[in-house]
Amino acid sequence: MLKPLATVDHMLLRPEGKGTIRALSRIGYELPAAIADIIDNSIDAQATRVEITFLRNDREITSVTIADDGRGMDMATLRMGMQFAGRTDHDVGDLGTYGMGLKSASFSQAKTMTVISRQNGNVVASRWSVEAIDNDWRCEVLDPVQAGVTFNDLCLRGKTPASGTLVIWERLDRLVVSQHADALDEFLGTAMPRLEAHLGLIFHRFLESGALSISTVVRHERRPLALPRPVRPHNPFLYPNSGAPGWPKALSCEFPGLGSLTLDAHIWPAGSAADGFLLGSRKGIEFQGFYFFRNNRLIQAGGWNGAVKGNQDPELMLARVAIELPPAGIDVNVQKSALQVTASQAQALLAASDSEIDLEDYLEAARAAYRASRRTERSSGSPPAVPGPGIAMRVRRAARKWIAGNREAEEIGFAWGELDDGQVFDLDLSEMNIVLNRKFRYEILDGSPASSADAPLIKILLFQLYKESFARQRSSGKLRDHVNLTNSLLFEIIKIRLKDRDE
C-alpha cells in the first residue's frame, strides 16, 4: 500500500468555459438521443404533449424547438435547471439522473440554448451560449414579456398551454448540410424517420398507455403552416406468437449493487417484418440482447453488455431480454442510452436462471429457433436479391421483374455514409446495404446533382458484383480481399478527379 502524501496547500480550479463546452459538444450524443434527453425533463414535469419543431429555410435548419405542456418552472427552478451539474432533488420516479441532460444534450447539437417556461401565468426565460460560458459562466436572464411572445408563437400547435416549457436550439453546428440544392431535403428525409423511430422505441410505454403524445414537424420560415407527424410507439416485444415453444420465461439473478432482478427472456418469430422487430433497420440483427427499463423509459435497446461475446451474432437475432431496473442505484451513460455494467454484473446476468434453466439454455434455444428457420429457408430456396432503395423506382421495378418474376425477393439498398478515407464503398451485410462514401459523392457524381437515386451506374454495377455475398450474409477473408481490391481501383479514379478538381 502506498504511503500517504502530506497536503501543503490547496488550489481553486474552476472549469475553463471554452474547454468545458467543447468537451460537452463531443460527449457522443446523436440527435435522437439528445432530443430524448430533453423529453425526459418534460415527462418529469408531468407533460402530456411534446412537440419537436425543425425551423428551416431553403438551405439550412435555423433552429430546433422542443415544447411541452408540463407544469413549467419558476425562476428558482429554472436557475437550478440551467446550472451545470447542479444540486438535483429528483423524485424516485423521475427520469433525470445527473442534472446535466438539458445542457449536455443541447450543446451537443447547438451553440445557443434558450429555455422559456410559463407557470401560473408567469413567464421566465434564460439563455446559455458558448460565448457566455466562456465569459465567466454568465447565464443570460431574458425579458419575460418578449419571451412570452415567443412562447405563444412556438409552444405547441393550436391552443397555447397555460403552463409548459419551450427549449430552443440555435446555431446548430451539428446539423449543417452541404450547399447543393437537395441536400437539406435529403437530410430531413433521412433524419426525421430516424428520430421518430428512436423516440417511438424509447418512450413506447408512455405512448402506448396514452400518458404522452409526441409529434414532430418541419416548418419553413416562408410557409408557417405545416402538419405535425405523430410519433408511433415501437414495442420491441410486441409479437403475435413466440418464436419457440415455452418462451418467454422469467429468469432471476442477484445483481451486484442492486439485488434481485428479473429477466424476461423472449424469442421472436423468425422472418418477422414487424416494426417492433426491425425498429427502423433492414434485418433487426443489431437489436438482439438486453432491454433495460427504468421508470418505464427504455435505457438500453439491445446489446449483451459483456455477458455474451459480440452484439451482432446472426444466430441470436431473435433473442431479446427485458429487464426492469429499480428507480435508482445503477450507472447509465450521460446520454441514458446504455448501462455501465461491471464484469461481476455481466457474470450475474449470465448466471440468471429459474432453477431449471439458465441464460445459456435460453441462448441455445434462440439459436436453435434461428437455425430451424434458416433450414426452412434453404429448403424452399433463398429469395433472389434485387436492387432496393437508392435506385430509381422504374429501374427497381424492371430489375424485380427480370430477376425475380413473381417470386419473393430480398432488396439490397444503397446509402451514402461515413467511411474511411481510402474507401469508396463498403458492404453492410447485416443491414443489406451497399454504402458509398459521402466524402466522395461529388467525384462519384462527376458534378451531377445529388438525389435519393443518384449514381445509378456505380450502384447497379456494385449490386451485380456483390449480390451473392448478401445472400450468404457472412463475411470472409476472400470477400474482404475482393472488396479491398475493388476499392483500390475505384479510389485511383477518385484521386484523379480530386486532382482535377483542385486544379
Work out whether strand 140-141 and strand 122-129 pair parallel, antiparallel, or are unpaired: antiparallel
Among 237-241, 254-258, 412-416, the range scoring the smallest mean pLDDT is 254-258
483 three-class SS: helix
End-to-end CA distance of the chain: 65
Please report, rounded to a whole number, the percentage of residues in the chain having pLDDT higher than 70: 88
**The pLDDT value given to residue 331:** 59
At residue 243, does pLDDT exceed 80? Answer: yes
d(CA 359, CA 350): 6
Residue 213's Cβ-count burial label (10 Å; 0-12, 13-18, 19+) is: middle
User: In what helix (H) or strand (E) does residue 294 lie, and over which residues does it extend?
Assistant: strand 289-294
Per-residue confidence (pLDDT) for residue 98, from 0 to 100:
44
* pTM of the entire predicted model: 0.76
Mean pLDDT, rounded, of the chain: 87
* Three-class SS of 113-156: EEEEEEECCEEEEEEEEHHHHHCCCCCEECCHHHHHHHHHHHCC
Map grid coordinates 413549467 to a residue: 72
Position 48 scores a pLDDT of 97
Tell me which residue has cell 455477458. 307
Q: Going edge to edge, which strands form the sheet with 213-220?
A: 140-141, 122-129, 112-119, 164-170, 61-68, 49-56, 213-220, 229-230
pLDDT band at 178 (very low <50, low <70, confident <90, very high): confident
**What are the domain boundaries of the chain?**
17-230, 249-378, 385-502
In DSSP terms, 261 is beta-bridged to 253
Give pLDDT tens digits for 30-43.
Answer: 899 999 999 999 99
> What span, in angstroms and rounded, lies between the C-alpha atoms of 161 and 155?
8
Q: Which three cell numbers stand for residue 163?
A: 403552463
**What is the predicted pLDDT for the residue at 412?**
92
Q: Are 108 and 80 in contact (CB under 8 A)?
A: no
Mean pLDDT of 310-337: 79
As to burial, measured by CB atoms within 10 angstroms (0-12 exposed, 13-18 middle, 19+ buried), residue 135 is exposed
Listed range (199-208, 440-449, 485-494) with the worst mean pLDDT: 440-449
Q: Which of 63-72, 97-106, 158-167, 460-469 has the lowest mean pLDDT?
A: 97-106
Q: Are 173 and 106 in contact (CB under 8 A)?
A: no
For the cut 60, the answer to whether the pLDDT of residue 88 exceeds it is no
Mean pLDDT of the 125-146 span: 92
Is the pLDDT at 11 greater than 70, yes or no? yes
Confidence band, pLDDT 50/70/90 cuts, at residue 225: confident
Model confidence at 400, pLDDT cuts 50, 70, 90, reads confident
pLDDT of residue 257: 84
CA nearest to 454, candidates 392, 370, 386, 384: 392
Amino acid at 499: K
Mean pLDDT of 211-215: 97
Please tell me the least confidently modeled range out of 296-305, 473-482, 488-497. Answer: 473-482
CA geometry: angle 34, 96, 93, nearest 5 deg: 135
More confident residue, 479 or 91: 479
List the single range of 188-192, 357-361, 488-492 with lowest mean pLDDT.
188-192
Looking only at the bridges linking them, the beta strands covering 259-267 and 112-119 are: unpaired
Q: Pick the more confident residue, 365 or 430.
A: 365
The strand pair at 213-220 and 140-141 is best described as unpaired
- What is the structure's pLDDT at 94? 60
Residue with cell 433497420: 281
Domain 17-230: which CATH class?
Answer: alpha beta
pLDDT band for position 335 (cuts 50, 70, 90): very low
